Amino acid sequence: MHRTFLKIAGWILLAAWLGLMPGSAAAAGSRTLTVAAFRDRLKGGFVGQMAGVAYAAPYEFRFDGRMAPQWLLLPWWPSRLAGALNQDDIYVELTFLAVWEREGMDAPSSALARAFGESKYLLWHANKAARDNIRAGIMPPLSGHPRFNPHADDIDFQIEADVFGLICPGLPAAAQELTWRVGHLMNYGDGVYGGVFIAAMYAEAYFEPDPVKVVQAGLAAIPAESVYARTIADVLAAHARVPGDWRVAWRVVEDNWAGKLHCPSASLIAPAGRQGIGANVNGAYVVIGLLYGQGDPRRTLAIATRCGRDCDCNAASAMGILGAIKGFSGLDHAYVAGLEAMKGLKFAYTDYDWPGALAAMEAKAREMVAASGGAEREGDGGPVWEIPVKALLALPLEQWPYGMKVEDVPLPPAPTGSGAGDAR
């Protein structure tokens, strides 16, 4: 069994009951998921991500520090879904999926870094700086560290962490470990926490229908003292206080956090003095879309988009997580009607069309379930997975406080070959 799988399998089981699917039965400390339901949620999550990024792409960075007006949002038509084929939200994450297919889920960071460094696609910000570092011989975790990557707190890993959660159904602890290990390829601290947060929400969405609880599950996976967690906590508090007006939460984020972001090239993508690419602020807008969207895909997309900044990425994650909650069968037909016409069309720079990507993700999910101590059995309506409940790791606190010089940010310890952050 692979080393990462052995590490996952060694975690302590929690004696907790976190809810079962209607009509299912399982021992305490585990949850059940039919394979049919898994496939529906996997497809809903991935197609939801595709729909979200395609929906909001026309507004990316057009509204930095201000809300997009409702009247500006273009009507959706099925052919717009194909716009996802050329989005970095998709093709970067599929790079990692391809490596996992070739080398297994314990593929070392060096293997992922080589594939990333050899890529030919367009990149920006933390991703581009990391690839430049790798090509220059600066490998993870230094490739994502502020001393070598001034975009370390940017959104990059957050926007490509969706696949990490989709292959960890009901396993937020496994998603947490995987994202923490890989995210340092291009990010550090809050930039990595963004990916951990998104992936943990996807993992929990397979079982939890309440968006508030899904967000809380993501928040539990990152250090509460981090800037990222405090930003998300502000959104949860605003929603609890004023659940009917998303503008209140948006204003809280803008007032408390939007002026405290690192990004040396912000002026190239936004008006002077505006910085639209920080992971924590954009992560907050994912959450605003989820919470105030109230389970309605149309409303979720509109709100996540109208929050502005890197809104195509935010709408992609919000709609993807909602798709994992509702399943493909629960998404509005309008957003999935263009899917069949895309069979055989590959995502840019990859060998995957959407059915191929889903098949690869299902294979990896089966490995993650098995490595976590889960098992498949026959149920009344078909095959069922028994998925153990696992304790989350207590991740180290990494922070690059606003205003701190990069040379003052502590360097990571030398890799030891095991543990969170392993840069093998």
pLDDT tens-digit series, residues 260-292: 777 776 544 444 334 578 999 999 999 999 999
Ranges 22-31, 108-117, 163-172, 253-262: which has the least confidence: 22-31
**What does the alpha-carbon distance between residue 4 and residue 111 come to, in Å, rounded to a whole number?**
14
Question: Which pLDDT score, from 0 to 100, does residue 414 have?
Answer: 65
Facing residues of 278 across strands? 154
**What does the alpha-carbon distance between residue 276 and residue 124 come to, in Å, rounded to a whole number?**
13
Query: 229 or 417: which carries more pLDDT confidence?
Result: 229
pLDDT at 25 over 50: no
pLDDT tens-digit series, residues 70-113: 999 999 999 999 999 999 999 999 999 999 999 999 998 889 99
pLDDT tens-digit series, residues 281-324: 999 999 999 999 999 999 999 999 999 999 999 999 999 999 99
Ranges 107-116, 203-212, 231-240: which has the least confidence: 107-116
User: Which domains are present in the chain?
Assistant: 3-397 (1.10.4080.10)
How many helices (H) and strands (E) the chain has is answered by 18, 3
Q: What is the largest CA-CA distance in the chain?
A: 61
pLDDT at 368 over 70: yes
- Average pLDDT of the chain to the nearest whole number: 88
pLDDT at 17 over 50: no
Q: Which residues contact 362 (CB under 8 A, 6 or more apart)?
A: 38, 39, 42
**What does the alpha-carbon distance between residue 250 and residue 387 come to, in Å, rounded to a whole number?**
36
pLDDT at 400 over 60: yes
Using the Cα atoms of residue 348, residue 162, residue 79 and residue 87 in order, give the sign of their dihedral. negative
